Chain A
Amino acid sequence: MSIYIGSDTKVVVQGIGSQGTFHAKRNLDYGTQIVAGTHPKKGGTTWEELGKPVYATVQEAVEAEDANTSMVMVPAPFTKDAVLEAHEAGIDTIVVITEGVPVHDMTEVYDVVVRRGGRRLIGPNCPGLISPGKSNVGIIPADITMPGKVGLVSRSGTLTYQIMHELAQAGIGISTCVGIGGDPVIGTQFIEVIEAFAEDPETEAIAFVGEIGGSEEQRAGEWIAANIPDTPVVGYIAGYEAPPGKQMGHAGAIVKEGGPGGESAAEKKQILESLGIAVAMNPSEAASLMIQRLG
């Protein structure tokens, strides 16, 4: 098994420009069931690079191809409408790769699509998710990992690749890897992914990669300590060297000056360790801690 996506996942791609096409093609070659693309002006044509149909709307892709998952790669100004369209078409899982989506847009989208609509929304500004050997929805390079029993969840794209790569070098594979994105308002949070991993019989251990800013990691840690104390869990919090008050790239990655406690990497590490979770100082240590934990 895997979480959120699997062999039966049928993906429609919203945003079939050069990036969308490049990654959709790569996902298709990996074995992902990419069933269609959408473009408001190209309905009825063929997506040549993939040999798949293009529909004008997501609704048509759902009706004709049974699409149940959407990969959103449209530019940021159009992302809100794209996600709402996928939701209205009945798509179960909407994965938003686009970066630079206004936080007010995401707040509204979350309300409609997740809180009231009950859909699974992942991202924005995320690398997507992969269940090695089954499906890859997003931009994660699949060739750096392999099927296995570690569930990986991360706020950062490339850092996720780094950890997967380090684990793979040690012979450890992945059940599902979910990049949830580093923005202040995201569709799916750590704790939800970790809960899903806890229920997944094929996931035996969990690695989570956090960063400075916010309190998600602490809340995830509390949930882990209370619910799955015997599951091997390893964390890494990026940004030990990040100075307070400076935004480090990600919109959410800032240690607030005089803000609520626990936003720095060192503070998060301390809180998680007090909850019995092993926390690494860097990616390679995360991999070696995982190896130790798996025995």
Chain B
Amino acid sequence: MDLVEYQGKQLFRRNGVPVPAEGRVCRTIDEVETAARELGGTVVVKAQVKTGGRGKAGGVKLANDADEARSVSEDILGLDIKGHTVNVVYVEPASDIAEEYYLSVMHDRVNKGYLVICSAKGGVDIEEVNRTDPDAVVKVSLTPNDTTDGLQRDRALDILTQAAIPEDGREAAADLLVTLFDAFRAEDATLCEVNPLIKTPDGRVIALDAKVSLDNNAAFRHGDYDEWKVAGLEADDPLEAEAKEKDIQYVKLDGQVGVLGNGAGLVMATLDVVAQHGGQAANFLDVGGGASADAMAASLGLVLKDPSVKSVFVNIFGGITRGEEVANGIVEATRRLGDFPQKLVIRLDGTNAEQGRRILEEADLPNVISAPTMDEAAELAVALAKEAS
């Protein structure tokens, strides 16, 4: 789960990572004006979207007074940044900036540990710096064994020295890195990124931005994970929003063939095969391992709700998932959904597949066609989608 900036700063604040004085979360121009007036002085109005490059896209602007805040927020609210619509802005007292750095902590999937990335060249596109001046970006891999009691301050200082963070800010930055690392672990984050990390003219080091991703798998030990899911932050696709509510792994795509399968890899492969047969998938939907009849019915209902879906390809290879459960789910779903115009092409193999095929055959559903292989099923689903469009 990705947090937006103001949430990331909230999370930093409660973990002792220094951030600017608290601002206001606003959804309308009037709210922005009021916030700017109450905060006083120069403020910064920042688009709250879950993507980078906000500044370049015009999503971050300074305002000297409430009127100016009103006018810049007119430009920002509703702005589309890389497909993310700005519904919420964060109005924050502007900070004095002497220098800008980059700092992040994340998982290191190659070395199975943690990665601390730091650069004295912050505030700009760090990927670009990484390409043009790789030596300016210091990457340090750590293991849990290195950090049993957290990141040692000496180690933090050493990383900042390697990254050529100027000496007068280094001590404060080291303190910040130590607390940032603690926050990363305590909150089950997968990423804590600060860009820019700033030094103020009076020598303080502050996280001017916060990009935090949390591990959904750790929700069981964080009672507040649900509170981060603020409705309406961004205009989610309505079907994706519904899927999230129902805990269904669903991604909306642009095609006409609804795709539903078990296992992320198989579903990705199904999208590939549909495309190679001249169609395009309308969605990615993984019903997961051990999909019950209920889960199948809910998933199928979701796929069929998409008006661009002209046919559906259900691709199941049972492992932990059992064929009879899938078949019962399909029967149950079609019963619950009543009349729908799309044809379902079902391909069923693996655990208890024969039982499943028999259940489907006996149910004799008018919209359901079985296909023997993944390729043939894809071909058929694509043909049916074309016929129906």
Chain A CB within 10 Å, residue with most, of B51, B109, B188, B286? B109
Task: Evaluate contact between B320 and A249: CB separation under 8 angstroms.
Answer: no
Other-chain contact of B110, A209, A215, A242 (Cβ < 8 Å): A215
Contact between B261 and A101 (Cβ–Cβ < 8 Å)?
no
Q: Are B268 and A158 in contact (CB under 8 A)?
A: no
How many A residues have CB within 8 A of the partner chain?
A: 70
* Known contacts A246-B251, A257-B52; A211 and B268 CB within 8 A of each other: yes
Q: B360: CB under 8 A from chain A?
A: no
Report how far A209 CA is from B262 CA in the complex, Å.
16
B113 at the binding interface (Cβ < 8 Å):
yes
Interface hits, B267-293 → A, CB 8 Å? 267-269, 271-276, 280-281, 284, 286, 288-290
Total contacts A-B at CB 8 Å:
192
Question: Is A262 in the interface zone, CB < 8 Å from B?
Answer: no
Q: Which of A108, A110, A211 contacts B265 (CB 8 A)?
A: A211
When chains A and B are docked, how far (Å) is the Cα of A240 from the Cα of B270? Answer: 10
Whether a CB of chain B sits under 8 angstroms from the CB of A37 is no
Given contacts A111-B143, A214-B109, A284-B375, A242 and B350 within 8 Å (CB-CB): no
Chain B interface size, under 10 / 10 to 19 / 20 to 34 / 35 or more: 35 or more
Alpha-carbon distance between A247 and B2 when the two chains are bound, in angstroms: 11
Q: Which of A57-65, A139-147, A198-206, A224-232 contacts B (4 or more CB under 8 A)?
A: A139-147
Which residues of B are found within 8 Å of A249, using beta-carbon distances? 249, 263-265, 267-268, 284, 286
A241 and B145: CB pair below 8 A?
no
Tell me the complex Cα distance, A241–B271, Å. 6
Bitwise, B280-316 to A at CB < 8 A (1) or not (0) is 1100101011100000000000000000000000000
In B189-246, the 8 Å CB interface with A consists of 190, 215, 217-218, 220-221
Residue in B215, B284, B317 whose CB lies within 8 Å of A158: B317
Does B351 have its Cβ within 8 Å of any Cβ on chain A? yes
Chain B residue, CB-CB nearest to A101: B217
A window 125-146: CB within 8 A of B: 127, 139-141, 144
A108 to B145, CA, bound (A): 8
Query: In this assembly, does B55 line the interface, its C-beta being within 8 Å of a C-beta of chain A?
Result: no
Contacts of A241 in B (CB 8 A): 253, 268, 271-272, 274-275, 280-281
CB within 8 A of A184: which of B82, B190, B261?
B190
A207 lies within 8 A of chain B by Cβ: no
Task: Identify the closest chain B residue to A285 (Cβ).
Answer: B276
Name the residue of chain A whose CB is nearest to the CB of B286: A249
In contact, A111 and B112 (Cβ under 8 angstroms)? yes
How far does the Cβ of B37 sit from chain A's closest Cβ, in whole Å?
36
Chain B CB within 10 Å — which of A116, A159, A257, A281 has the most? A159
Which residues of the partner chain B approach A236 to less than 8 Å between Cβ atoms?
Answer: 269
A144 touches B350 (CB 8 A): yes
- Chain B interface residues toward A at CB < 8 A: 51-52, 82, 107, 109-110, 112-114, 125, 127, 143-145, 185, 188, 190, 215, 217-218, 220-221, 249, 251, 253, 261-269, 271-276, 280-281, 284, 286, 288-290, 317-321, 349-351, 373-375
User: What are 18 sample pairs from A and B whose C-beta atoms fall under 8 A apart?
Assistant: A23-B320, A106-B112, A127-B319, A127-B320, A140-B319, A157-B320, A158-B262, A158-B265, A161-B350, A162-B269, A162-B317, A209-B265, A240-B272, A246-B251, A252-B109, A259-B127, A265-B272, A283-B269
- Give me the interface of A with B, judged by CB distance under 8 Å: 19, 23, 76-77, 97, 99-108, 110-112, 114-116, 127, 139-141, 144, 154-162, 165, 182, 184-185, 209, 211-212, 214-216, 219, 236, 238-243, 245-253, 257-259, 265, 281-284
